[in-house]
């Protein structure tokens, strides 16, 4: 398996405040990484740093051999980063279809494939972003990232605040995107067991540093370790 992402000695934060300290790990092409930790441990900061939305104080980020840390956010998107932030950041004044076509890049993922994965969006393609439920907005945010045809998908708490039936629908979609389609992903989530079930590797952050790395299957089979690391076993 070829290496896709390499992070070395990464320190980053907001302004002069450093949140991440000496973070280092690698991810192979087609692999999914579960990024876990208690609230406030630096998970979102790491995702935001990969997307170029923080101040980097040290270290390097390489994606497919390209020095990502030297690029502006829009250049990182062009280099292969697909980012779904907690805020979703859809264009609420545009329709579902306009949201997708406004950012579409050439590749195998196009609006039609997004509609096939999320039939709810196909039914609402002429609806404005403001007319969508929270779950539908999240589906649209994932779809917008996919039509960029990224090399690496970043998902920051994609299941947060959603109804159980929508959670199951999104989990099935994420499993298809990563396991069936082979798109590499890093997923931040407060439901560790659900995400570990569809991930290859796991990294646990605490106080901005990596405190545990393991295969997702191994960590999932050790609820007592999860309890110690996260304060919650499920």
The CATH number that applies at residue 75 is 3.40.50.300
pLDDT score of 190:
84
Task: Identify the CA nearest to 168 among candidates 197, 188, 132, 127.
Answer: 197
Decide if 134 contacts 162 (C-beta within 8 A).
yes
Q: Is residue 194 part of a domain?
A: no
What is the domain count for the chain? 2
Please, which pLDDT band fits residue 14 given cuts at 50, 70 and 90?
very high
Give me the phi and psi of 231, to 5 degrees please.
Answer: 80, 5
pLDDT score of 83:
96
Q: Do residues 5 and 71 both lie within one domain?
A: yes
Q: What is the largest CA-CA distance in the chain?
A: 48
Q: Do residues 72 and 132 both lie within one domain?
A: no
Please report, rounded to a whole number, the percentage of residues in the chain having pLDDT higher than 90.
93
Please, which pLDDT band fits residue 1 given cuts at 50, 70 and 90?
confident
Q: Do residues 9 and 66 both lie within one domain?
A: yes
d(CA 152, CA 155): 10
Domain of 43 in residue numbering reads as: 1-79+200-234
With 90 as the cut, is the pLDDT of residue 233 above it?
no
Q: Is residue 187 part of a domain?
A: no
Query: Could you count the other beta carbons within 10 Å of the beta carbon of residue 191?
Result: 16
- Two tokens at 184? 């590499």
With 90 as the cut, is the pLDDT of residue 61 above it?
yes
Residue 97, classed as helix, strand or coil, is helix
d(CA 134, CA 115): 17
Q: Is residue 39 part of a domain?
A: yes
* Torsional class of 193: left (φ above 0), alpha (ψ -120 to 50), beta (otherwise): alpha
Q: Which residue has the higher pLDDT, 139 or 1?
A: 139
Q: What is the mean pLDDT of residues 75-86?
A: 95
- What's the whole-model pTM score? 0.95
pLDDT score of 191:
84
Q: Do residues 73 and 99 both lie within one domain?
A: no
Query: Could you count the other beta carbons within 10 Å of the beta carbon of residue 87?
Result: 8
Q: Is residue 168 part of a domain?
A: yes
Q: Do residues 127 and 93 both lie within one domain?
A: yes
d(CA 172, CA 166): 10
Q: Do residues 118 and 172 both lie within one domain?
A: yes
pLDDT score of 138:
96
Q: Is residue 191 part of a domain?
A: no
Q: Is residue 156 part of a domain?
A: no
Q: Is residue 154 part of a domain?
A: no
Please, which pLDDT band fits residue 234 given cuts at 50, 70 and 90?
very low
Q: Do residues 109 and 169 both lie within one domain?
A: yes
With 70 as the cut, is the pLDDT of residue 212 above it?
yes
Q: What is the mean pLDDT of residues 8-33?
A: 97
pLDDT score of 50:
97
Q: Do residues 2 and 43 both lie within one domain?
A: yes
Please, which pLDDT band fits residue 232 given cuts at 50, 70 and 90?
low
Please, which pLDDT band fits residue 43 given cuts at 50, 70 and 90?
very high
pLDDT score of 184:
98
What average pLDDT is seen over the chain?
95
Q: Is residue 102 part of a domain?
A: yes
d(CA 166, CA 209): 32
pLDDT score of 117:
96
Give per-residue pLDDT as tens, 97-107.
Answer: 999 999 999 99
């Amino acid at each position: 398996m070829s290496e896709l992402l390499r992070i070395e000695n990464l320190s980053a934060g907001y302004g002069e405040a450093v949140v991440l300290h000496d973070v280092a790990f690698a991810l192979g092409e087609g692999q999914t990484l579960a990024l876990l930790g208690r609230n406030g441990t630096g998970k979102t900061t790491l995702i935001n740093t990969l997307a170029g939305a923080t101040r980097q104080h040290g270290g390097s980020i390489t994606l497919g051999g390209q020095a990502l840390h030297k690029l502006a956010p829009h250049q990182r998107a062009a280099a292969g980063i697909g980012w779904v932030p907690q805020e979703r950041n859809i264009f609420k004044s545009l329709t579902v279809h306009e949201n997708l076509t406004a950012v579409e890049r050439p590749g195998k993922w196009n609006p039609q494939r997004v509609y096939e994965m999320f039939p709810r969006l196909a039914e609402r393609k002429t609806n404005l972003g403001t007319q969508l439920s929270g779950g539908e907005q999240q589906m649209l945010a994932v779809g917008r990232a996919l039509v960029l045809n990224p090399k690496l998908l970043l998902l920051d708490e994609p299941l947060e605040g959603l109804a159980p039936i929508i959670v199951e629908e999104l989990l099935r979609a994420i499993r298809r995107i990563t396991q069936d389609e082979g798109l590499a992903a890093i997923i931040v989530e407060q439901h560790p067991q659900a995400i570990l079930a569809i991930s290859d590797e796991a990294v646990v952050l605490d106080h901005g540093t990596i405190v545990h790395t393991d295969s997702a299957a191994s960590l999932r089979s050790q609820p007592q370790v999860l309890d110690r690391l996260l304060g919650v076993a499920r």
